[in-house]
Amino acid sequence: MKGERWQTDLNSFEARAKQLGAKVVSADAAGDDDRQFQQVKDMIKTGIKVLVLLPRDTTNASRMVDAAKSANVKVISYDRLVQNSDVDLYVSFDRIAIGKMQAQYLVKYAPKGNYVLIAGSPNDGGAKVLHDAQMTVLQPYIDRGDIKVIADAYTKDWLPSEAYLFMLNAIDSAQGNIAAVLASNDGLAGGAIQALREHNLAGKVLVSGQDADLAAVICIAQGTQTMTVYKPVVDEAEKAAEEAVRLAKGEKTEAEATISNGKRNVPTIMLKPVAVTKGNIKTTVVKDGFQTLKSINQALSADQQIK
What pLDDT is stored for residue 4 in this prediction?
77
Residues of the chain with pLDDT > 90, as a percent, come to: 95
What pLDDT is stored for residue 63 in this prediction?
98
Angle at the Cα of 179 from the Cα atoms of 175 and 184, rounded to 5 degrees: 110
What pLDDT is stored for residue 5 in this prediction?
85
Q: In sequence order, which ranges of 209-292 are alpha helices (DSSP H)?
A: 214-222, 233-248
Task: Classify 37 as helix, strand or coil.
Answer: helix
Residue type at 222 in one-letter notation: Q
- 91-128, pLDDT tens digit by residue? 999 999 999 999 999 999 999 999 999 999 999 989 99
- 195-253, pLDDT tens digit by residue? 999 999 999 999 999 999 999 999 999 999 999 999 999 999 999 999 999 999 999 99
Q: Count helices and strands (H / E) in the chain.
A: 10, 11
Residues of the chain with pLDDT > 70, as a percent, come to: 100
CA-nearest of 156, 158, 174, 169 to 115 is 174
What pLDDT is stored for residue 156 in this prediction?
95
Is residue 283 over pLDDT 90? yes
Distance CA(259)–CA(267), nearest Å, equals 7
What pLDDT is stored for residue 2 in this prediction?
76
What pLDDT is stored for residue 199 in this prediction?
98
Distances (CA, A) of 22 to 17, 58, 224, 241: 5, 27, 43, 9
Is residue 185 over pLDDT 90? yes
